[in-house]
Amino acid sequence: MRSKMIKEGLERMPHRALLYATGLPKSEIGKPFIGVATSFTDLIPGHTGMRDLERFIEKGVHTGGGYPFFFGVPGICDGIAMGHGGMHYSLASRELIADMVETVAEAHRLDGLVLLTNCDKITPGMLMAAGRLNIPSIVVTAGPMISGHYRGRRLNLTSDTFEAVGKFKKGLIRKEELEALEMCACPGAGSCQGMYTANTMACVTEALGMSLEGCATALAVSSKKRRIAFESGRLIAHLVKRNITPRKIMNIRAFENAIMVDLALGGSTNTTLHIPAIAHEAGIDLPLDAFDRLALKTPHITDMLPGGKNYLEDLDYAGGIPAVLKRLRQKLNDNITVSGKNIYEIADKAEIFDEDVIRPLDRAHHAQGGIVVLKGNLAPGGSVVKQSAVSKNMMKFRGTAIVFNSEEEAMKAILAGKVRSGHVVVIRYEGPKGGPGMREMLSPTSAIAGMGLSESVALITDGRFSGGTRGPCIGHISPEAMEGGPLAIVEDGDPIRIDIPGRRLEVLLTDVEIGRRLKTWKKPAPKINKGYLARYARSVSSANEGAIMK
C-alpha cells in the first residue's frame, strides 16, 4: 500500500501521531487509506445532495475494509456562471480540479480514491486526475434532477428558463408564466434533467467502466443512488487489494465504448473536449476525428432533451446505460469495469423496459451518431455540432455573416432584434485562449430558439455550447480566432455555407482573399491579463486537442 510511506517504521512516528490526532483509531491504521474527494457545495443544485451520499460512501468504505478520509474539491455551476464573466472560469476549473485531486492524493499517499462528482467540469476533472495518478479509483456521480411540473406539463432547465427569456422578449408568454417557470423548472437537487453536459459525462463515465452500472441515471436523492454510493465505497478497498487501476480500465477500447454510447445518446458536444483530455491523462492519444469515425457506425437511438423529448428519468426507467450497452453490444469492445464485471456481462444481463426510449438499432432516430466533426476553410483543425439536435431542413444552410467579438455583443444584438432570418451569427475570440476559458453560449443559442429563429439562423463560434443547446450551432472552431484562425478574418455580410452531411464549414471567399485578410489581421489584446485565467490562456491548447494544459 502507498500509505505505508506515511505510517510504517520508526521514522514515521510523527506522521502516525498526526494521523491519530485526526481521530484515526489505532486498530484502523493498517487498513487501506481511501481518499473520498467530495465536490459538495451549496452553490450547485447537482451537488447539494452529496452530504447524504458521503454518509453512504463512508459506510461502504468501512464495510469493505478501508478507512476513509474526506477532502473537498470546488465546483462551478455552469448554468449560474453562464452569460457573464464567471463563465471564463468553468472549463479552466477542470484543470484545477485534476491538480487538486492529484496534489492531495500524492501528498498523503492515499491508496485509493472515491470521486464524488456530478456537474460539467468536475466529473472530467476527477477522471483526468484518476488517469494521471493511476491509483485504484471509482467514480460516484450524484445523479440527475427530477423533472419540474407546471399546469400538467413537465419542465426542464433549458427550454423552460433559458429559452423562456427569448419567448418572453417576443411576447409569446406572459410575465406570470415566466415567473412560474422560474420557480418550477428545477424542483430540487440533481444535475439538469436532459442529456446536457453533466448527465452526458455521467453516462460516459459509466460506459468507460469507471462507475457502477446504473450510476449515471440513478436519480439524485433516490434510495437507488444511496445503494450505489454504499457499494462504490465497499468496492474501493477490493480494487486496492487487487491493484485494479484506472489505466487498466481506461484503455482505447473503453474510450471507444464511451464515445459510441455518447453518440447513441446524442450527448453534449463538450465530450469532444473532455474525453480526449481524460484519454491524454491516461496516456492515450485520441484525436477529434475519432468521434466522426465512430459516428458513421453508431446510430442515434435515444430522443433526449434538449433536441428530443425524453428526460434522464425516462432513460433510467427504461434501463439506463446497461440497457444502452445491450442495444450496442455488437458494436462495443469487451472490457473490465470497476464493478468486476465486463462490459459484455453487464450488457447481457441488462433489461430494456421501454422500446421507444431506447430504440432498437433498426428503428434508430438517426443512422449516425449525435456528434459530427466539420472541417473546411473556416475550421481547418475541425469544429463540432450536435447533429441530433438539428432539424432536417437546417442540416444544410447558407447565410450571411453577422460578426461579434464576444458573447455579450451577440446577446445584446439578438435581444434587440438585429439578428434576422438568413444570418449566420459569428461569435469569436471566445476559444480556450481568446475567451479565455471557452465560454458556453447557451444564452444566445437559447434566445435564438426562444425567438423562433432556430429554423432560419445558424451560429458558429470558437467557443463552445452547453449540452442544452439545440439547432444549427457549430462550436470548437479550430484554430481559434485568437490564434489567427480563419474565423478571425470573417466580416459582416460574408457568405457562409454549412453542410453537416458533407462535414463542411466554409466561408465562400477565395484563398487569395482569405490570405490577404490574414496578412493584415492583428492579434487583439488579451481580455484578461491577471490571475489564473492569464496563466491558463498562456498554457491551454486548442479545442481540437481537448483544451488541455501544456
Annotated binding site for Mg(2+): 78, 120-121, 440
Close Cβ partners of 131 (under 8 Å, ≥ 6 residues apart):
246, 247, 250, 278, 279, 280, 281, 282, 283
Q: Which of 488, 427, 510 is nearest to 461 (CA)?
A: 427
Q: Which of 1, 231, 196 is nearest to 79 (CA)?
A: 196
Which residues carry out catalysis?
466
The beta-strand segments (E) located in 441-532 are 458-461, 473-478, 495-499, 504-507
Which residues are bridge partners to 384 per DSSP?
373, 475
Contact 53, 225 (CB under 8 A): yes
Contact 210, 308 (CB under 8 A): no
> SS3 for 495?
strand
- What is the rounded distance in angstroms from the CA atom of residue 475 to the CA atom of residue 465? 7
Contact 447, 424 (CB under 8 A): no
What nine digits make up the cell of 321? 446505460
Close Cβ partners of 122 (under 8 Å, ≥ 6 residues apart):
39, 47, 73, 75, 93, 94, 97
Q: Please compute, for residue 223, the number of CA atoms within 13 A of its CA located in the half-sphere on the CB side.
A: 0
Q: What are phi and psi of 516, to 5 degrees?
A: -65, -45
Annotated binding-site positions? 78, 120-121, 440
Which contacts of 225-228 are long-range, i.e. CB under 8 A and separated by 24 or more positions? 225/53, 225/142, 225/143, 226/52, 226/53, 226/56, 227/56, 228/140
Close Cβ partners of 18 (under 8 Å, ≥ 6 residues apart):
none
Q: Which DSSP symbol is given to 481?
A: G
Q: Which ranges constitute the DSSP H helices of 398-462?
A: 407-415, 442-450
- What is the rounded distance in angstroms from the CA atom of residue 151 to the CA atom of residue 343? 42
Pick left, alpha or beta for residue 462 (phi over 0 → left; psi -120 to 50 → alpha; otherwise beta).
alpha
